[in-house]
């Protein structure tokens, strides 16, 4: 078995930057936004210090959205906002949480809600035979929960790093974490890093 592996979901400008098109409700002056950025930064730094692989997952679509199947409200909203267009600033990683050039860091792009679906994520993760997946990102009740459920169905042990996750609606964030306690360990950055070191 290999080391733990971090999956960092949608730490992108359109999602996290004050001028992003989605922003999951985290305003420029929202303390929740600062807390999320701090926790996500600590998660990535901790994984790097321990030599754990990190897969940075981004959502991106063609500028004409020809590859976006708009069969759900959240997907129709992406198109109506003009968000996450391939090649745009919004689809790029948020600067302080961007991947580093390293043989232990990878980028996966996807275009559905679940990051595993239709992407190379599963085959990439299996190369490392990880003891545990640490999954975090935005939004908790969307890409995070959908990806966690798929990971568990694939047979992976999962820890959700709760303080490195967020939703526009704090109640939705809390409800999603409560729901995932049935299938995953819910932890905070420091506790997860220490427990799996």
Give 156-196 as a DSSP string.
--EEEEGGG-B-SSHHHHHHHHHHHTTTSEEE-HHHHHHHH
Render pLDDT for 40-85 as a digit per residue (tens, 0 to 9). 999 999 999 999 999 999 999 999 999 999 999 999 999 999 999 9
Any domain includes 9: yes
Cα distance between residue 71 and residue 66, in whole Å: 13
Any domain includes 78: no
* pLDDT band at 127; cut points 50, 70, 90: very high
Any domain includes 85: no
Q: Read off the CATH number of the domain in which 16 is found.
A: 3.40.50.850
Domain count, the chain: 1
**Angular region, 122: left φ>0, alpha ψ -120 to 50, beta rest:** alpha
DSSP-derived secondary structure for 39-93: HHHHHHHHHHHHT--EEEEEE-B-TT-TT----SHHHHHHHHHT-SBTTSTTTSB
Residue 28 pLDDT? 63
Query: Which tokens hold the place of 30?
Result: 């929202």
Asked if 143 and 7 touch (Cβ cutoff 8 Å), the reply is no
Q: Residue 31 contacts by C-beta under 8 Å, 6 or more apart in sequence? A: none
**Angular region, 87: left φ>0, alpha ψ -120 to 50, beta rest:** left
pTM, full prediction: 0.96
Any domain includes 70: no
Residue 27 pLDDT? 63
Any domain includes 76: no
Cα distance between residue 59 and residue 139, in whole Å: 12
∠ CA 181-144-113, rounded to 5° = 130
Render pLDDT for 134-149 as a digit per residue (tens, 0 to 9). 999 999 999 999 999 9
Any domain includes 180: yes
The pLDDT of 171-179, averaged and rounded, is: 96
Any domain includes 75: no
Average pLDDT of the residues of the chain: 95
* % of residues, the chain, pLDDT over 70: 96
Q: Which domain holds residue 43?
A: 5-59+93-196
* pLDDT band at 197; cut points 50, 70, 90: confident
C-alpha dist (Å) from residue 140 to 30, 42, 195: 17, 18, 22
Render pLDDT for 14-51 as a digit per residue (tens, 0 to 9). 999 989 998 765 666 678 889 999 999 999 999 999 99
Indicate the pairing of strand 54-59 with strand 133-137: unpaired
């Amino acid at each position: 078995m290999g080391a733990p592996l971090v999956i960092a979901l949608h730490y992108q400008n359109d999602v996290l930057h004050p001028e992003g098109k989605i922003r999951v409700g985290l305003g420029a002056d929202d303390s929740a936004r600062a807390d999320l950025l701090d926790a996500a930064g600590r998660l990535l730094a901790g994984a790097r210090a321990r030599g754990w692989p990190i897969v940075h997952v981004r959502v991106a679509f063609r500028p004409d959205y020809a590859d976006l199947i708009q069969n759900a409200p959240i997907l129709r909203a992406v198109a109506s906002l003009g968000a996450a267009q391939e090649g745009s600033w919004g689809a790029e990683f948020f600067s302080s949480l961007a991947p580093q050039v390293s043989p232990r860091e990878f980028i996966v792009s996807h275009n559905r809600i679940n990051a595993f679906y239709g992407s190379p994520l599963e085959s990439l993760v299996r190369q490392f035979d990880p003891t545990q997946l640490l999954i975090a990102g935005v939004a908790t009740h969307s890409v995070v929960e959908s990806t966690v459920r798929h990971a568990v169905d694939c047979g992976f042990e999962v820890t959700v790093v709760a303080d490195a996750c967020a939703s526009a609606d704090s109640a939705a964030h809390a409800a999603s974490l409560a729901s995932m306690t049935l299938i995953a360990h819910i932890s905070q950055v420091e506790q997860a890093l220490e427990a799996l070191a």
